[in-house]
Structure 1
Amino acid sequence: MIRRTAALSVVLTVLLALTGCGGGSTAATKGKSTHQVLALAKQKFDKAKSVHLQLATQDKPTKGDAVLGADGTLTHQPAFEGKVTVVLGGFNAEVPVVSIGGKVFAKLPLTPKYVAIDPSEYGSPDPADFADPSKGISGLLLRLQGAKKSGQKRDGDQVLTTYTGTLTGDLVQPIIPSADKARSYATTVGIDQDGRISTLRIVGGFFAHDGDVTYDVTFTDYDKNVKISAP
């Protein structure tokens, strides 16, 4: 009977560890203020040699062009190499993109090689700007208005501590150009057990007359040795 009780206790402990992600803290966030946690996450992002980024939305504008996603590697050269998904004239296009040295190169539909482009003409940001310490991803962390810890959630084998607040449209626009400068955007940041930004969710009006839209950004594979060159 004692042996069975001990075994049950172990099982319950494991289940609680797997599912109990309430309002606790991880080692990276325990005892730290919201500002300290977000400042450390910004520092880690800015110092990383590289990070893999995925940006996505399940929504699509009823009219006009917009960026729907991005999937690639970001470095602090700054540079980006990957694919950007945009809607052009009502059709989705997944475009291979390399951005480096202030120039953006894309392999557009029906073109056999990379050509220099102005991404704003396609409703897209310069993805290398995501690495900018001021106007990029990490710059958002310390500009989150009303930032507060909101709880924890499980993301695969990671337990993320989440922080919520709002961002003004002018701050979101360099990341998602269809953001409205006059609006505010509900934002949730997920910080992993190493104190790094792992997820970013931004919700608000991105497409005119289409209601709220959700963009999710995930960050993985921090600090890999990656070399990005112009095509």
Structure 2
Amino acid sequence: MSHLPHLRRTAAAAVLVITAAVGLSACSGDDGEPAGNPSADTDGDGVSPAEALGFAKTRLDETSGVRLTLATEDSPDADAFLSEATGVITADPPAFEGKASGSFGGLPADGVDIISVDGTTYVNLLGSFSEFPLPECVPDPAGLLDPDTGFATVLTAADDVEAGEQQRGGADNDEIFTPYTATVPGTAVTNLLPCAPGESFQATFDLDDDGLLRNAEITGEFFPEVGEVTYTIAIDEYDVEQEITAP
């Protein structure tokens, strides 16, 4: 009896094992730590977690715009809170166009069309847009890309940053993300939600192979006397160019 079929199966199995081993090693550095984007290496000594987050902030500072979602699955008992905002933010000029849900002055709102441009926010509540003064605890989404006061400031303000093991993600599970856990001071989180009273927050930042921030999860006291709430930021697209004008 020929042993050729058996040999073929053995060879095929060996190829699969080798391929899997190569694929796993490609997701980490030689020392077992996740490999960072080489562009983030500022001192020639490898990419540290702090350098990785610094590069991610720089990339956000440089982008023309992003398409993102800011959301929480929690339901804080607060008169004004943002449960979800999804849409496009442009950097120059600062503007936002999308939808928002939450509670505004104690009134619930779901999927409301919002445009923010030139420092004025317009909301379509009754079939047409009108100017809407944002509550104190609801940030102007148009300003979230500002290099000095936008949400990216939490990246460079983060302390005790540690890199985790790379993992697959994305819409088709075909992307590689490196998670970075960190502690973020409350002074930086107020750039995301102005009324956050917490002194420190726990965060996880997921960076892709290009060093871009793709997901962020931040947990802490975002509202007075409410307890911990978790907000997530998912960035679906960078370098978005969209003209946003007042309605």
The interval holding the TM-score normalised by the smaller chain is 0.7 to 0.9
Preserved contact between residue 107 and residue 114 of structure 1 (Cα < 8 Å) = yes
Aligned length: 227
Q: Does 1:201 align with 2:217?
A: yes
Letter in structure 2 aligned against 1:3: R
Preserved contact between residue 21 and residue 154 of structure 1 (Cα < 8 Å) = no
Preserved contact between residue 96 and residue 141 of structure 2 (Cα < 8 Å) = yes
How far residue 13 of structure 1 moved from its aligned partner, in angstroms, is: 4.9
Partner of 1:7: 12
Letter in structure 2 aligned against 1:41: A
Q: Does 1:95 align with 2:95?
A: no
Deviations 1:173-224 (A, max 9, x none): 23123421x4211011111111111111100122444432211111111113
Q: Does 1:35 align with 2:50?
A: yes
Preserved contact between residue 76 and residue 229 of structure 2 (Cα < 8 Å) = no
Counterpart of 2:165 (choices 151, 166, 169) is 151
Partner of 2:139: 125
Cα distance in 1, alignment partners of residues 18 and 234 from structure 2: 30
Preserved contact between residue 151 and residue 189 of structure 2 (Cα < 8 Å) = no
- Change over 3 Å in CA distance of 1:48–1:8 after alignment to 2: same
- Change over 3 Å in CA distance of 1:45–1:3 after alignment to 2: same
Partner of 2:194: 177
Counterpart of 1:187 (choices 203, 206, 211) is 203
Preserved contact between residue 199 and residue 216 of structure 1 (Cα < 8 Å) = yes
Preserved contact between residue 180 and residue 204 of structure 2 (Cα < 8 Å) = yes
Preserved contact between residue 162 and residue 189 of structure 1 (Cα < 8 Å) = yes
* Further displaced range: 71-80 or 209-218: 209-218
Partner of 2:245: 229
Cα distance in 1, alignment partners of residues 27 and 189 from structure 2: 29
* Further displaced range: 194-203 or 133-142: 133-142
Q: Could you tell me the TM-score, scaled by structure 2's length?
A: 0.81
Partner of 1:25: 34
* Further displaced range: 9-18 or 90-99: 9-18
Cα distance in 1, alignment partners of residues 95 and 146 from structure 2: 10
- Change over 3 Å in CA distance of 1:90–1:14 after alignment to 2: farther
Preserved contact between residue 34 and residue 163 of structure 2 (Cα < 8 Å) = no
How far residue 131 of structure 1 moved from its aligned partner, in angstroms, is: 0.6
- Change over 3 Å in CA distance of 1:27–1:5 after alignment to 2: farther
Preserved contact between residue 52 and residue 73 of structure 1 (Cα < 8 Å) = yes
Partner of 2:130: 115
Partner of 2:178: 161
Cα distance in 1, alignment partners of residues 190 and 51 from structure 2: 25
Letter in structure 2 aligned against 1:45: L
Preserved contact between residue 87 and residue 99 of structure 2 (Cα < 8 Å) = yes
Alignment root-mean-square deviation, CA: 2.5
Q: Does 1:213 align with 2:229?
A: yes
Partner of 1:83: 99
Preserved contact between residue 67 and residue 240 of structure 2 (Cα < 8 Å) = no
Give the 3-state SS of the residue equivalent to 2:12 in structure 1: helix
Preserved contact between residue 66 and residue 235 of structure 2 (Cα < 8 Å) = yes
